[in-house]
Structure 1
Amino acid sequence: MERKLFIQKFALLALVPSVFIAACSSEEKKTGEAKAVKKQTFTCPMHPQVIKEEMSTCPICGMDLVPFEKNSNEKALTVDEKRQALANITTMVIGVNNLSGAKQLNGRLTVDPEQSSYISSRIAGRIEQLYIRETGVVVKKGQPLYQLYSEQLATLQQEYLMAVAQEKQFPGEKIEKQIVESAKQKLLLYGQSAGQVQQLLHTQKKNPYVTFFAPESGVVAELYVNQGQYVTEGGPILRLEGYGNLWVEADVYPNEAKGIKEGQRVKVVIPGWEDQPQEMTISFITPALQSGTQLTQIRGSISNPNHQWQPGAQANVFLPSGSNSAVLTLPVDAVIRDGKGMHVWIKKGKDSFEPKRVNTGEENDNQVEITAGLQNGEQVVVTGAYLLYSEYILKKGKNPVEGLKISG
């Protein structure tokens, strides 16, 4: 009996460490799980600088704070009913319609490089007078630009006068005539005009000062020198831009560029001058996508005789398109376009919205054809899509189309 009692006591003692170890392990697991729980932070949709660790209202505008989900991999965006009403988020079911009209591309006016000219110093010297001292000044052809002091030029003038005098000593000598002509050509090549050479011959006095004139009209775009500065032969003085013709550059997606050809004529409208539409011939289509985007460019030229338009102004390019029947269409504003691609927002539940990449085809002022990415019957956000786009970037810290592939 005593032996049996001893065995029971020994088994009980052996069991105590196991229970203790298991209890410790359980406690450590709970502690680890508690540490693994991340604190939820909240922010204001209108004032992202407001960040709190508890649900409350914004101290600035009084709006309810929302969960702050920065860098989350969740594609869905949750927007409650109240905020949907404030943001005017509305949806429609995409369906099949007929589409006709012209496709509008966003473009801009830029300087035509063929209208630009660089003016450099023909000879080394010091700029004694600089008649143009700021950019943006309109310059007329033949207008004086700067006066240069050059001992080298005075030496060339002296050589010319000596050659003329030498020819008079030996009239009729062919070699003397060639020397005179060579000395004259040097002066012309170094920037002296024919009138200045004739004046030199008349006065018989060398002049180390020479005035240089504008070879053509234009607007001073860049000025590289200051008065009193020494310049070397070939040193840049200024750059002129001509605005008589301007380039029109427009961004297009690769799938849109398939139907565009060089030599195709399109309509160009400058906002504010809708009553003066211009006709442009597409002269170039860039063969590569722009760096960091999914866009390529088309380019053409329009006349600007009165300089009424300035480089940098917006331009709308309209590509003619035929009539398509039985195609999926959406309002133009429903499609978000940026350098990463095109996408729309789909309503997945009462308060849930998800981005979907799409491809587009023909479009007019109001409707755009969806060629890939959506199915007939899906519920698409048609107003407030840009607000969802902005909120996604605010809350997730990345572009909604990153990692998305086109389906359908």
Structure 2
Amino acid sequence: MNSFLRLTLRFVVHRLPAFLLLAGLLAFVVSACQQAAPEQQSEAHDGTSTYFTCPMHPQIVRDKPGKCPICSMDLVKATKQAAAKPTVAIAPALTHYTCPMHPQISRKEPGKCPICGMDLVKAPKAAPAAKATSGTTTSAPEVMLSAQQRQLAGIRVATFGPSGSAAGSTVLTGTITANANQTRTVSSRVAGRVERLFVRQTGEAIRAGAPLVSIYSEQLQALQQEYLLALAQQRAVGKSVNQYGRLVTSARQRLRLLGLTEGQLRTLAATGRPTSSLTFYSPQSGLVQAVGVTEGQYVGEGSLLVSLTNLSSVWVEAQLYPEEVAGIAMGQSVQVQVAGLPDSYSGQVVFLSPELQANSKVTLLRVELANPDGRLQPGMQANVRLTNQGTSAQTLSLPQDAVLRDSRGSYVWQQVDAAGRFRRLNVTTGAETDETVAITGGLPAGAQVVVSGAYLLESEYALYQGTDPMAGMDSNMPGMDMKKPAPAEKAPAMDPNMKM
């Protein structure tokens, strides 16, 4: 036993320096790692970081690859530069859970959207701004987008400045109709039965003098017999007797009023055989607009037989508000763009209604267009562009897409700096055209304004700030009662057979 203790003591004495050296080395490594960790953490914090996002929905940010919860596209890897420290204090960033389709929904924990049932996604949310004290004003809402987000969203800015002439254009929606001055109606001049119908469908091309309808009439036969009898009496006594001459002229005039031509009257006088039917011929070339009878039908005097229209010129009828009438003059030249046709047509204002249409607040404008090739057909949709005769003064205006509106006012998004900071400004607007909006206040000249992608910035602001983009809507509209508290559950009805 003593020898074993001596051997153990000798082993420890000989190996003690090695153990001490190993313990010192381990202590040095641990202390070095503890000193390097803050440096590495600081370096990672100050340098660049990578994340995974959706190309179509840049608000989706993940730490690892996956699928976009909105469109199911593969998330792509992106690099984010750390933003420089601003001179002003920035509110601490918070997170919340929101619906990609309804960003007004904000929850502290994951769950389902109460509107569409989609899974809520985690998104950053800026801390609420402090309330302004008396004598101070609140800052305008801002959104920060990276260069990649701006490129994916198609954000385009332009300098707000004079747009040139104040003369703009107003576009009215109209419909092509047949020119009433080129429309003719063929009506029956006798009572009888439709014996033959030469045209049976609308849209058929008809030349001038072509037969349309043949009508059998006993009244026609009686008048022809009277005419032939007067001619026979005139021939018997000679033309020197004026009495029979007046009878012939009277009978001839009544046949002419019924629609018989001079050629038909000469044929009747030469043959002496009355015809049993009367044929009506086309008074002009054109298209059949309406057919009002069928074969075998009995018609009376004045019944519509066929309606013809000549489309060598057509009308465009459009509606406009009374305040827009002041800048329009009779005979004014306008440009008309017809849906489905590449070319624009030049026309003239031929009619401006002096009264409002029934049960409406609009009046009627009529433009006449030449249609030599027949490409313009009644019923086609067209846009009438009216040039507003304004002064040549310089005006400050923006494109229509740059101005956002709701029930609380009009807004534009201004780019504050090249780092991608955008600010929403409330502006006042003036005269508008189909392309531009005059800005009368709220925006300084020379400001960089978003002219493409303003709606995406508004959605981004609503998503990250947790605001309600439907706040400007009428809460009484269907589907707008999302903020109403759920009704309390009713107590179950008592069983009348239950003993108290």
Which one of the candidate residues 360, 371, 385 is aligned to 2:431? 360
In structure 2, how many angstroms separate the alpha carbons of the residues matched to 1:240 and 1:319? Answer: 35
2:285 counterpart of 1:212 = no
CA-CA distance at 1:237 after TM superposition? 1.3
Q: Is the 8 A contact 2:403 2:412 kept in 1?
A: no
Tell me, yes or no, if the aligned pair for 1:126 and 1:231 is still in contact at 8 Å: yes
Identify which range, 181-190 or 255-264, moves more after superposition.
255-264
Q: Give the secondary structure class of the aligned counterpart of 2:372.
A: coil
- Structure 1: distance between partners of 2:335 and 2:172: 12
Residues 346-399 of structure 1: CA deviation (Å, up to 9, x unaligned): 479xxxx9x999663456xxx424388x754699996687x99xx99998648x
In structure 1, what is the Cα distance between the partners aligned to 2:408 and 2:260?
Answer: 62
Separation in 1, partners of 2:473, 2:200: 46
Distance 1:334 1:301, change over 3 A: farther
SS in 2 for 1:133: coil
Quote the residue 2:332 is aligned against.
264
The answer to whether the 8 A contact 1:289-1:295 is kept is: yes
Q: Tell whether the 8 Å contact from 1:328 to 1:376 is kept in structure 2 after alignment.
A: no
2:194 counterpart residue number: 127
CA distance in 2, matches of 1:293, 1:343: 27
* TM-score after normalising by structure 1: 0.63
Matching residue of 2:227: 160
Q: Distance in 2 between matches of 1:113 and 1:335?
A: 43
* Letter paired with 1:113: A
Work out the CA distance in 2 between the residues paired with 1:63 and 1:196.
87
Distance apart, 1:239 and its partner CA: 1.6
Is residue 99 of structure 1 aligned with residue 179 of structure 2?
no
Q: Which residue identity is paired with 2:172?
A: N
The change in CA–CA distance for 1:253 and 1:380 in structure 2 (over 3 A counts) is farther
2:270 matches 1:169: no
Residues 337 and 382 in structure 2, CA contact (< 8 A), matched pair in contact too: no
1:246 aligned residue: 314
How far does the alpha carbon of each residue in 1:149-203 deviate from its partner, in whole angstroms, 9 at most, with x for none? 1111111110110010011122111111111011011111111111111111121
Root mean square deviation of aligned Cα = 4.8
Q: Deviations over 1:311-332 (max 9, x none)?
A: 2241442426456444342314
Q: 1:149 to 1:247 in 2, by over 3 A?
A: same
Q: Is the 8 A contact 2:427 2:443 kept in 1?
A: no
Task: Identify the residue that residue 201 of structure 1 maps to in structure 2.
Answer: 269
1:331 corresponds, among 359, 375, 399, to 399
Q: Report 1 or 2 for greater relative contact order, CA contacts < 8 Å, sequence distance ≥ 6.
A: 1
Query: Residue 271 and residue 135 in structure 1: after superposition, are their counterparts in 2 closer, same or farther (change >3 A)?
Result: closer
What's the counterpart of residue 117 of structure 1? 184
> How far, CA to CA, are the matches of 2:371 and 2:197 in structure 1?
30
Q: Map of 1:221-236 to 2, 5 A cutoff?
A: 221-236=289-304
Correspondence for 1:138? 205
Unaligned runs of 5+ in 1: 1-41, 46-53, 65-80, 399-408
What CA distance in whole angstroms lies between the structure 2 residues aligned with 1:104 and 1:254?
14
CA drift at 1:96: 5.0
Moved more, 187-196 or 256-265: 256-265
Paired residues of 1:154 and 1:207 also in contact (CA < 8 A):
yes
Q: What is the deviation of 1:244?
A: 1.1
* Structural mapping, 1:4-403, within 5 Å: 55-56=113-114, 58=116, 96-100=161-165, 102-108=168-174, 109-171=176-238, 172-270=240-338, 275=343, 277-291=344-358, 293-311=360-378, 312-319=380-387, 321=389, 324-333=392-401, 346=411, 360-361=431-432, 367-370=435-438, 375-376=442-443, 397=477
Deviation of 1:142 after TM superposition, in Å, equals 0.7
- Please state which structure has a larger fraction of its residues in strand: 1
Bigger Cα Rg = 2
Deviations 1:67-89 (A, max 9, x none): xxxxxxxxxxxxxx9xxx9xx79
Indicate if the aligned counterparts of 2:399 and 2:437 stay in contact, CA closer than 8 A: no
**How many Å apart are 1:128 and its aligned residue?**
0.8
SS at match of 1:263: coil
Task: Read off the aligned partner of 2:164 and give its amino acid letter.
Answer: L
Instruction: Structure 2: state its 5+ residue gaps.
Output: 1-98, 103-111, 121-143, 145-149, 414-423, 460-469, 479-500
Rate the CA distance shift 1:194–1:333 in 2: closer, same or farther, 3 A: farther
> C-alpha deviations, 1:17-64, integer Å up to 9, x for none?
xxxxxxxxxxxxxxxxxxxxxxxxx9x88xxxxxxxx835747xx687
Offset from partner CA, 1:124-154 (integer Å, 9 cap, x none):
0000111111111122111111111111111
Native 8 Å contact 2:194 2:216 kept in 1: yes
Matching residue of 2:466: none
Equivalent residues, number: 320
Cα distance in 2 for partners of 1:119, 1:321 equals: 45
Moved more, 167-176 or 280-289: 280-289
Which secondary structure state, in structure 1, belongs to the residue aligned with residue 162 of structure 2?
A: strand
Contact kept in structure 1, 2:157 and 2:450, CA below 8 Å: yes
